[in-house]
Amino acid sequence: MNRPTIADHVAVMPRASAMRAVTLGVTDLDKALRLFRDTMGLRLESDREVSLERRHLWGLESQGGARLVELSCAGYATGRLRLLQLTPRAHVVARLDTQLGGPDSPLDIGPKAVDFYVRSPATDAWREMVAAGCIARSPPVRHVIGDVESEECVLFGPDGVPLLIMVGHRHPPSQMRAGSPHGKYSEVPTISVVAGDLAATRRFYGEGLGLAIGTDAETPAEFRDKVNELVGIPAGSRVHFLLYQQADEPSGKILLVHFGALSQRRLEGRMHPRHLGVALFHHETADLDGLHARLRGLDANVVAEPQQVDGERVMLVRGPNEELFEFTERQ
């Protein structure tokens, strides 16, 4: 009898998919649609009221209403954007940068920015976003991390949510869909999170979710100040990038950005559907009970145990860097 190998174990371990959608809480849904649908050209896929079952799961029982709009690029099922408006409207912001008069430093541990690919030159999209009402941190910055060369800029969109637009001058096919963007702006290829403990982050994403590492590198010294300017941190700061993804899917990636000892404060509980800005990451799995068992084995914070909601099995999990995940079982 042949004994199972490590490769066999990895092949059958419960895995999470790439991020199917990121939910952003907004105060004014129509205003947000003017940016994401009308200016950026994302396609409206659905517009509905959140069910009572899901409002209970998300801790929104006290809300009078919850309207959820879903947008895609060219119908892609991965990297979608969901906009959630509550009645009465939410007030707490997941991350409100000091540049906007908020209390939150770019170094704070927690959800960071939502990314989109644009065509070169990046300055064209940058000007368009500013004209649409976004506030820019800086003009586009060109830099290299490992074998990846990008031109990027950070802007603040509705309710101060950080948005990063980028041109992939040299991105591997595993991380950038061929021909991207397939509209004026792409689907969400990546979302960033400021990470605290890298060891705990590796356990959660690698051992827990079964995602693959795409990039694991520190910004070289010659590009350090450019990256520091891009993210709004002190010049000379060291930055480590750790990218996790579904091995066969270039979009829906999660980029963990580590600033070492510079990151001390956590945005505790800020990422939540009842708050504004980055509220929820949605992923799928073929085996929700298996994923639940693996995460429990790693002492992950399971916020809501697997349960039936809107005809599907769902659970909520809080990640090591204040992330909030909704995992649904693939039908």
**pLDDT at residue number 220:** 81
Please count the other Cβ atoms lying within 10 Å of the Cβ belonging to residue 314.
20
The reported pLDDT for the residue numbered 252 is 97
pLDDT above 90 as % of the chain: 81
DSSP conformation class of 74: T
End-to-end alpha-carbon separation of the chain, Å?
A: 34
Report the CATH fold assignment for 6-93+269-329: 2,3-Dihydroxybiphenyl 1,2-Dioxygenase; domain 1 (3.10.180)
Q: Identify the pLDDT of residue 10.
A: 40
According to CATH, where is 3.10.180.10 located in the chain? 6-93+269-329, 98-262
Q: Select from 95, 23, 19 the least CA-distant residue to 66.
A: 23
**The dihedral formed by the CA atoms of 290, 209, 263 and 174, expressed in degrees to the nearest 10:** -170
Distance of CA 282 to the CA centre of its chain: 9
**Whether pLDDT at 300 is above 90:** yes
**Would you say 189 and 183 are in contact if contact means Cβ atoms under 8 Å apart?**
no
**What is the per-residue pLDDT for 50?**
96
What pairs with residue 316 in β-bridges?
A: 304, 326
Nearest C-alpha neighbor of 164 from the set 232, 249, 215: 232
Query: How many residues in the chain?
Result: 331
Only one residue has tokens 């994401």, namely 36
| CATH, domain 98-262, list 3.20.20.70, 3.90.180.10, 3.30.1360.120, 3.10.180.10 | 3.10.180.10
**Nearest-CA neighbor of 116 among 21, 58, 189, 184?**
189
pLDDT of residue 47: 98
pLDDT tens digits, one per residue of 57-111: 999 987 789 999 999 999 999 999 999 999 999 999 999 999 999 999 999 999 9
Confidence of residue 13 (pLDDT cuts 50, 70, 90): low
**pLDDT tens digits, residue range 83-93?**
999 999 999 99
In 3D space, the residue among 78, 112, 82, 88 whose CA is nearest the CA of residue 284 turns out to be: 78
Question: CA 129, CA 35: separation in Å to the nearest integer?
Answer: 8
User: CB of 253 within 8 A of CB of 244?
Assistant: yes
Which amino acid is located at 118 in the chain?
V
Predicted confidence band of residue 244 (pLDDT cuts 50, 70, 90): very high
User: What is the pLDDT at residue 147?
Assistant: 79
Token pair for 315: 């659970």
pLDDT, tens digit, 9 for 90 and up, residues 131-185: 999 999 888 988 887 778 889 999 999 999 999 999 999 998 999 998 999 999 9
What is the torsional sign of CA 92, 98, 104, 107? positive
Given a cut of 70, whether residue 301 has pLDDT beyond it is yes
Residues 6+ apart with CB under 8 A from 173: 250
Q: Is the dihedral of CA 76, 95, 59, 67 positive or negative?
A: negative
Average pLDDT, the chain: 92
